[in-house]
């Protein structure tokens, strides 16, 4: 089958990331400010406070591991697609700089980025939002949102989660919070927020008065670029193994090199 050209794929605005075979060199994977998108987001969603507006050409991997023996950008050497690396620690510092009001109630969504998002390594488990999901044939479905008790209703409440892709989880959380505390000032904070054009809220998220995002992003070709955490790709649990296998099947051209780099990132082998 003849491969479609870049212009044909761009006109088609493909949804499947597997159809975008345009990797670039490691040095060309940095996410730079896109001023057109920045102006668009500022105009359409004036209640989003963001650091950078970026167009994502390929996949995103969040580097949420503390140390590694190799540069995770080397994954580009065995990938059929551009892999953008976002450093979690840097993204988190920039996110907190966007939040000018420090006298707030911070709630954290339980998950991969939770520990790194906690301010000053806060170990308080009374500010944890738990999401219970059921696995269906299509995708995980949220069954239940377990909220902590919010004591001070006079403070702004900010919900922290590492990524906003479809926005469904954030919206579900807002619905549950508003049912219990209808008059509360509610915001959302995230490292990466994929912005959509069909949201009728100035914050870009239904149910929230405002949002904070280190990066607001759109796919340059894909409507929803794949976003994964590095800790999940190098993990040993069942979920991580499934993610690794699926990632290799869709995007990796050399599985042996992919596994070698993952082992090096995990600290199992030297370069």
CATH of the domain at 214: 3.40.50.2020
Among 18-32, 81-95, 121-135, 246-260, the minimum mean pLDDT is found in 18-32
Task: State mean pLDDT over 156-182.
Answer: 94
Count of C-beta atoms within a 10 Å radius of residue 197: 8
Query: Is residue 211, in this structure, part of any structural domain at all?
Result: yes
Closest CA to 130 of 116, 117, 143: 143
C-alpha dihedral (111, 250, 87, 258), degrees to nearest 10 = 110
pLDDT (tens digit, 9 = 90+) per residue, 176-217? 999 999 999 999 999 999 998 888 899 999 999 999 999 999
Half-sphere exposure of 132 (CA within 13 A, CB side): 5
Query: Is residue 255, in this structure, part of any structural domain at all?
Result: yes
Query: Is residue 184, in this structure, part of any structural domain at all?
Result: yes
Query: Is residue 165, in this structure, part of any structural domain at all?
Result: yes
Give the distance from CA 208 to its chain's centroid: 18
Specify the pLDDT at position 27: 59
Query: Is residue 254, in this structure, part of any structural domain at all?
Result: yes
Residue 145 has pLDDT above 70, yes or no: yes
Task: State mean pLDDT over 80-104.
Answer: 92
pLDDT tier for residue 147 given thresholds of 50, 70 and 90: very high
Specify the pLDDT at position 9: 46
Residue 168 has pLDDT above 50, yes or no: yes
Domain span including residue 125: 6-266
Phi, psi (rounded to 5 degrees) for 246: -65, -40
Residue 51 has pLDDT above 60, yes or no: yes
Task: State mean pLDDT over 212-233.
Answer: 90
Residue 17 has pLDDT above 50, yes or no: no
Q: What is the mean pLDDT of the chain?
A: 85
Do you know the residue count of the chain?
A: 271
- Assess contact for 37 and 90: CB atoms under 8 A: no
Question: Could you give the CA distance from residue 190 to residue 91 in angstroms, rounded to a whole number?
Answer: 9
Residue 238 has pLDDT above 50, yes or no: yes
Task: State mean pLDDT over 18-30.
Answer: 55
Q: Which residue has the higher pLDDT, 121 or 144?
A: 144
Residue 103 has pLDDT above 60, yes or no: yes
Closest CA to 72 of 59, 63, 64, 60: 63
C-alpha dihedral (174, 54, 57, 188), degrees to nearest 10 = -10
Q: Which residue has the higher pLDDT, 7 or 122?
A: 122
Residue 146 has pLDDT above 60, yes or no: yes
pLDDT tier for residue 48 given thresholds of 50, 70 and 90: very high
Specify the pLDDT at position 5: 52
Specify the pLDDT at position 102: 86
Total of domains in the chain? 1
Query: Is residue 271, in this structure, part of any structural domain at all?
Result: no
């Amino acid at each position: 089958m003849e491969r479609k050209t870049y212009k044909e794929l761009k006109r088609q605005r493909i949804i499947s990331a597997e159809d975008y075979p345009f990797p670039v060199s490691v040095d060309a994977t940095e996410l730079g400010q896109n001023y057109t998108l920045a102006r668009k987001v500022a105009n359409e969603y004036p209640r989003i406070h963001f650091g950078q507006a970026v167009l994502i050409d390929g996949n995103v991997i969040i580097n949420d591991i503390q140390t590694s023996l190799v540069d995770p950008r080397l994954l580009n050497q065995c990938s059929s697609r551009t892999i953008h690396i976002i450093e979690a620690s840097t993204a988190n510092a920039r996110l907190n700089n966007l939040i000018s009001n420090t006298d707030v109630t911070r709630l954290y969504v339980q998950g991969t980025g939770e520990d790194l998002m906690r301010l000053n390594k806060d170990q308080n488990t009374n500010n944890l939002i738990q999401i219970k999901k059921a696995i269906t044939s299509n995708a995980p479905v949220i069954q239940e949102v377990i909220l902590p008790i919010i004591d001070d209703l006079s403070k702004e409440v900010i919900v922290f989660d590492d990524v906003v892709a479809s926005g469904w989880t954030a919206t579900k959380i807002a619905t549950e919070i508003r049912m219990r505390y209808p008059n509360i000032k509610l915001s959302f904070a995230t490292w990466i927020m994929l912005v959509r054009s069909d949201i009728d809220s100035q914050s870009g998220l239904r149910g929230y008065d405002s949002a904070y995002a280190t990066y607001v992003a759109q796919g340059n070709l894909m409507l929803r670029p794949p976003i994964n955490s590095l800790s999940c790709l190098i993990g040993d649990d069942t979920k991580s193994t499934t993610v690794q296998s699926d990632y290799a099947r869709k995007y990796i051209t050399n599985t042996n090199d992919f596994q070698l780099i993952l082992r090096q990132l995990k600290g199992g082998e030297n370069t």
